[in-house]
Chains A and B, each alone.
Chain A
Amino acid sequence: MRERAWVWSGRYFDSVTLMAVSAKLRAQPGVERAAVMMGTPMNLAQLGEAGFAVPEGLAPTDVVVTVAGTSEEAVEAALAEAKRALEGGGLGAGPGRAPGPGRAPGPGRAPGPAFRADLAMISVPGEYAPREARLALEQGLDVMLFSNNVSVADEVRLKRLALEQGRLLMGPDCGTAILDGVGLGFANAVRRGSIGIVAASGTGAQELSCLIDRLGGGVSQLIGVGGRDLSDAVGGLMTLAAIERLQADPATEKIVVVSKPPGHSVAERTAAALEAPGGKPYVLCLLDRFSLDEAAEAAVGRPLDAAPPPVPKAAGRALGLFSGGTLCSQARQVLGDRAELIDLGDDRFTRGRPHPMIDPSYRIALLEQAGAGLVLLDVVLGYGAHPDMAGALAPAIRGAAARGCVVVASVTGTEGDPQVRSQQVAALREAGAVVAETARLAALAAKEALA
């Protein structure tokens, strides 16, 4: 086997771009392993653990490409491909890449003074994210902080700054938001309406907003506050600010707050903010006691009118392969330890690998290993998600079904999403999966099959 590395110094690419290039190299003929990453200490350690020879003296602003393959030619061809892809700005550079003449934007700064943004969408690596968020807040922007690995201390500091500035700091680890009809991050094309949502902001918020849409309701705003906001340490700083914003928002008639069980004093303050005199009607849904389905029903004031779909009995290993963390923990509440439920969006699985909502390959590999038994999975649609997740999973589902595996799925999405929910449902059914109306109903169906 041949192995070779190429280093491009003083360049920076985001991890999504680099992972896409890695994936492309791995698909080249004769390539056995390939990694494309920035030379941060963490990445280099990972590279070493993966058995690659790590070049010396690399800095976090060096791009390193390492390829191992069956022949010299294959490795050379892959390196050449990496150069081509990176020199072209990765695979499909985003809009507005080229700075205007004479006004090259500095690192970390907005592109040129002419562009006045209202919101900064931040997805840089976690160690750099607090600074970018601070700069954006100081410029008077709302911030959606997609980055994870941000410390609680930084989160508190940034949220206080946001409050001083009268801005929102959504996150960290905020996957989705909808502001004035614009879906940010992984968001679905949800009908506009009068329901304002405050949620930790991951797939739980996506499922809830999609169910509201399916029930005929609409969403005014979906404000993500990050999974730790209602902890005692953060004190619900952004939840309270979001409630205040929704109380004042003319488009919002009803407020829905969805959360894991909060700290005691935080719970009291949240309730007080919702109970404030003259406040709007509200739904407070704590996920240890209520489901997302119930929250949607209460928000719209109409029942879902759906039951778990009929499923054949399953015997053997029961596995849950989730791309959404909240959907995974909701299934855990239904199934307990009857099944091995894996959140593939967890940090453990996304290190050096794209999120499972973008890249189906790891889930496909696990599906291919599944024997007779049961697999429960979620397909999450929307802006930013994989263009055809059902189509990508279909062959593996078909294979699993052929081995006597019962596959139960749910599809979080709307008819307006780029992937079109009904088409994704049809593709999954066609491959042999049982598709439930909601993620919770899918878990209930799985429970039935395992009973």
Chain B
Amino acid sequence: MRVVNIGAPHFAAALEAQGVEVAQADWRPPAGGDMKLIEALEKLSTPAVAEANAKALAIINSGHPVLVDVGWARDLIPGMQRTTILHSGPPNRWETMSGPQRGAVLGALMLEGLADSPEAAEALAASGEIEFRANNDHGCVGPMAGVISYSSALFVVENRAFGNRAFTNLNEGYGKVLRMGAYAPEVLEKLRWINAEVAGALQGALRLMDGGLDLRSLIAQALHMGDECHNRNKAVGALFLREMAPYLARAAGVGPEALARILDFIGHNEIWFVNLSMAACKATLDAARSIPGSTVVTCMARNGYEFGLQVAGLPGRWFTGPAQKVRALYFPGFTEADAAPDIGDSVITETAGIGGFAMAAAPAIVQFVGGTPELAAELTAHMYEITLSESPVYSIPAFGFRGTPTGIDIRKVVETGILPSINTGVAHRLPGVGQVGAGLVHPPANIFADALLALAEAAAPQTAPTRRYDDPI
């Protein structure tokens, strides 16, 4: 007989004395000993929930994101007005926006010609005339401030397995950029160029491509080349350019000078691909966004004020908590005092099982998380404790090509107290300064507990077959 001893080690010792093989469980009360949460966990430990989760995982694991087109927000997003501003994270108001997000809003209002100065833009933003919406509620994702406005160019990513689409803006590169809250004239000038020349050329190139660009395949390859496709996109960016360059060269109306500018811009922007990685993850997860009873997380996002989460069993409902401080390595000249709280939609990558969940695949950036490849491996290994499956597509060479931990289960997070590990960039807390570092962050714990309680409340009474006490056995 082999025994697992859960509780007093005393009993394990007594069994060992009899020569029995015993393992002592490293037990501690689940959910921090909170009986309300434990009752919710029990209520959600039913075959019905298991079935719903299996369905969610099947959808997520068969997701097949493909980049099919480039278009513009005014045409692609239903109901988009010139006065609509989409932003990262859960729904936000001007009053509570963090520095970077405010700056990006000001820039976007000037870009759209709704204001001719930052002061005028600020007055307009505060006037109530502007409709602020969360990207994720409209199939969109954007890094950092994540601001998408009427004239923003958007990548169109289609989930080939299910036909749903996700959108993201084009990455502006480093330095003073709108996504970090910069709104100086040259920032807007560059954005206009991206939204026009770069977007136009990419649209032409993609429309020449038969069947679009397979993002799932690019990400899978990049994970074997040292990227985790959130904080490191070096390899995948090169792969992107390799696939796109011939089509860009052939695209109508792109002369040699423009082609050189575009190739140079994309090729030297090492985080170019992060937006596409995010849209790929968004398209994959959105297919599973509404599955009654499921406890799988389908969306996580932050806006610098709050961290928000959605779960498949309660589609469209945000659970929010305060945006956290990032444990980061800072660029020279910056310190923690300069950092904005956690911001951006890029945590959609972790939600889909890459980014921080594939940290073990990206030893080159372990400096951001404390320095050693062992620590990186440990971070990823922990994530298997809170996920329900392993990706059949994305794998980690250092783990013997084990699939990345995929499908965060609200129940497992609450039970273990292990929070998702997120790789992230850090924005300066003031608009327009830019990125000041990169590091590691966790969501606030309350959003998982809140979602669990809401799921338990929504769950039908237990449907286990009931046998009467005096029925024959």
Question: Closest residue of chain A to B386, judged by CB?
Answer: A106
Instruction: Report the separation of the CA atoms of residues A321 and B83 in the bound assembly, to the nearest whole angstrom.
Output: 83
Most buried by A among B17, B18, B42, B381: B18
Rounded to whole Å, the gap between the CB of B60 and the closest CB of chain A is 22
Residues of A within 8 A of B18 (CB): 182-183, 383
Task: Decide: B29 and A183 in contact? CB cutoff 8 A.
Answer: no
Knowing A111-B25, A121-B6 are in contact, say whether A94-B473 is a contact too (CB < 8 A).
no
Q: Are A17 and B8 in contact (CB under 8 A)?
A: yes
Q: At the interface, yes or no: B197 with Cβ under 8 Å from chain A?
A: no
Q: Which residue of B lies closest to A154 (CB)?
A: B42
Decide if A95 touches B24 in the complex (CB within 8 Å). yes
Which of A60, A104, A108, A184 has a CB less than 8 Å from the CB of B15? A184
* Residue ID in chain B nearest A20 by CB atoms: B10
User: Do A94 and B28 form a contact, CB below 8 Å, given A60-B33, A128-B38?
Assistant: no
Residues of B within 8 A of A103 (CB): 381
Q: Determine whether A88 belongs to the interface, using a CB cutoff of 8 Å to chain B.
A: no
Q: Would you call B29 and A107 a contact (CB within 8 A)? A: yes
Do A134 and B45 touch across chains, with their CB atoms under 8 A apart? yes
Contacts of A136 in B (CB 8 A): 4, 6
Interface presence of B95 (CB below 8 A)? no
Q: Is A127 an interface residue (CB 8 A)?
A: yes
The reply to whether B378 and A102 contact each other, CB–CB distance below 8 Å, is yes
State whether B38 touches A131 (Cβ < 8 A).
yes
Say if the beta carbon of A285 comes within 8 Å of chain B.
Answer: no
Least distance between B46 CB and chain A CB atoms (Å): 11
Interface stretch (choices A29-37, A232-240, A344-352, A389-397): A232-240
A105 interface residue per 8 A CB criterion:
yes
B1, B16, B467: the one contacting A179 at CB < 8 Å is B1
User: Quick one: which of A97, A112, A234, A241 has the most chain B CB within 10 A?
Assistant: A97
From A8-16, A305-313, A371-379, A407-415, the one touching the partner chain is A8-16
| Interface residue from B5, B10, B17 paired with A418 (Cβ < 8 Å) | B17
Measured between beta carbons, the chain A residues less than 8 angstroms from B467 are: 160
Contact of B5 with A14 in the complex, beta carbons under 8 Å: no
Bound Cα distance A173, B122 (Å): 68
Distance in angstroms between the alpha carbons of A125 and B28 in the assembled complex: 10
Provide the bound-state CA to CA distance between A94 and B1, in Å. Answer: 18
Number of chain B interface residues as a range: 35 or more
| Contact call A235/B470, Cβ cutoff below 8 A | yes
Inter-subunit contact A182/B23 (CB<8 Å): no
Interface size class of A (residues with CB under 8 A): 35 or more
CB atoms of A131 and B4 under 8 A apart: no
B23 x A110 contact (CB < 8 A): yes
A265 to B470, CA, bound (A): 8
Residues of A within 8 A of B8 (CB): 14-17, 123, 146
Question: Would you call A237 and B473 a contact (CB within 8 A)?
Answer: yes
Least distance between B449 CB and chain A CB atoms (Å): 13
User: How many whole Å from A367's CB to the nearest CB in chain B?
Assistant: 24
The answer to whether the Cβ of A301 comes within 8 Å of any Cβ in the partner chain is no
A123–B14 contact, CB under 8 A? Answer: no
A118 within 8 A of B: yes
A106/B9 in contact, CB under 8 A: no
Query: Could you tell me which residues of chain B, from 1 to 57, have a CB within 8 Å of some CB in chain A?
Result: 1-18, 20, 22-30, 32-35, 38, 41-42, 45
Q: Would you call A107 and B10 a contact (CB within 8 A)?
A: no
Answer whether residue A147 sits at the interface, using C-beta atoms and an 8 A cutoff.
Answer: yes
> Which residues 406-442 of A have a CB within 8 angstroms of B?
418
Is A117 in contact with B4, judged by CB distance below 8 angstroms?
yes
| Nearest B residue to A235, CB-CB | B469
User: Cβ of A60 and Cβ of B415 under 8 Å apart?
Assistant: no
Given the known inter-chain contacts A60-B29, A102-B381, A108-B415, please indicate yes or no for A147 contacting B7, CB distance below 8 A: yes
**B30 pairs with A97, CB closer than 8 A:** no
B82 within 8 A of A: no
| B416: interface (CB < 8 Å) | yes
Q: List B contacts of A95 (CB < 8 A).
A: 9, 12-13, 16, 22-24
A358 in contact (CB, < 8 A): yes
**What 1/0 flags go to A112-150 for Cβ under 8 Å of B?**
100111111111110110111010100001000011000
B residues near A112, Cβ cutoff 8 Å: 23
B97 at the A/B interface (Cβ < 8 Å)?
no
Using A60-B34, A90-B9, A111-B4 as known contacts, say yes or no to A240 and B415 having CB atoms under 8 A apart.
no
User: Contacts A15-B8, A111-B4, A121-B4: A61 and B29 contacting too (C-beta < 8 A)?
Assistant: yes
B2 in contact with A131 (CB, 8 Å): no
Q: Are A120 and B6 in contact, with the CB atoms below 8 A? A: yes
* Closest chain A CB from B21 CB (angstroms): 8
A124 touches B7 (CB 8 A): yes
Q: How far is the CB of B44 from chain A (nearest CB, A)?
A: 12
Q: Is A40 an interface residue (CB 8 A)?
A: yes
Please, which residues of chain A bring their CB within 8 A of the CB of B3? Answer: 117-121, 182, 184
CB-CB nearest in chain B for A133: B6
Kindly provide the distance from the CB of B3 to the nearest chain A CB, expressed in whole angstroms: 5
- State which of B11, B20, B42, B412 has its C-beta within 8 Å of the C-beta of A123: B11
- A51 lies within 8 A of chain B by Cβ: no
| Chain A minimum-CB-distance residue to B12 | A94
Across-interface contacts of A184 in B (CB, < 8 A): 3, 11, 15
A182–B27 Cα gap in the complex (Å)? 23
- Are B27 and A124 in touch, CB under 8 angstroms? yes
Chain A residues within 8 Å of B377, by CB: 102
Among residues 429 to 473 in chain B, which have CB atoms less than 8 Å away from a CB atom of chain A?
467, 469-470, 473
A108 B22 Cβ-Cβ under 8 A: no
B207 adjacent to chain A (CB < 8 Å) = no
Q: Which residue of B lies closest to A157 (CB)?
A: B464
Cβ of B418 under 8 Å from chain A: yes
When distances are taken between beta carbons in the complex, the residues of chain B under 8 Å from A38 are: 29, 33
Q: How far is the CB of A113 from chain B (nearest CB, A)?
A: 11
Closest to A179 in B: B1
Set A40, A97, A183: member contacting B33, Cβ < 8 A: A40
Contact A183 B7, beta carbon cutoff 8 Å: no
A109 CB–B CB distance under 8 Å = yes
Interface residues in chain A, defined as those with a beta carbon under 8 Å from any beta carbon in chain B: 11-12, 14-17, 38, 40, 59-61, 90, 92-97, 99, 102-112, 115-125, 127-128, 130-132, 134, 136, 141, 146-147, 156, 160, 163, 179-180, 182-185, 232-235, 237, 240-241, 265, 358, 383-384, 418
Closest 10 CB pairs of A and B: A60-B33, A94-B9, A123-B7, A12-B28, A94-B12, A383-B14, A384-B14, A117-B4, A16-B8, A94-B24
Please name 13 pairs of A and B residues whose Cβ atoms are closer than 8 Å in the assembled complex, sorted by A: A15-B8, A61-B32, A97-B9, A102-B377, A110-B25, A121-B4, A121-B6, A123-B11, A127-B38, A136-B6, A156-B469, A184-B11, A235-B469
> Told that A94-B5, A107-B30, A182-B3 touch, could you supply 19 new A-B pairs with CB distance under 8 A?
A14-B9, A15-B8, A16-B8, A60-B29, A92-B9, A94-B12, A95-B9, A95-B23, A103-B381, A105-B26, A119-B3, A121-B4, A121-B15, A123-B7, A123-B8, A124-B29, A146-B11, A383-B17, A384-B10
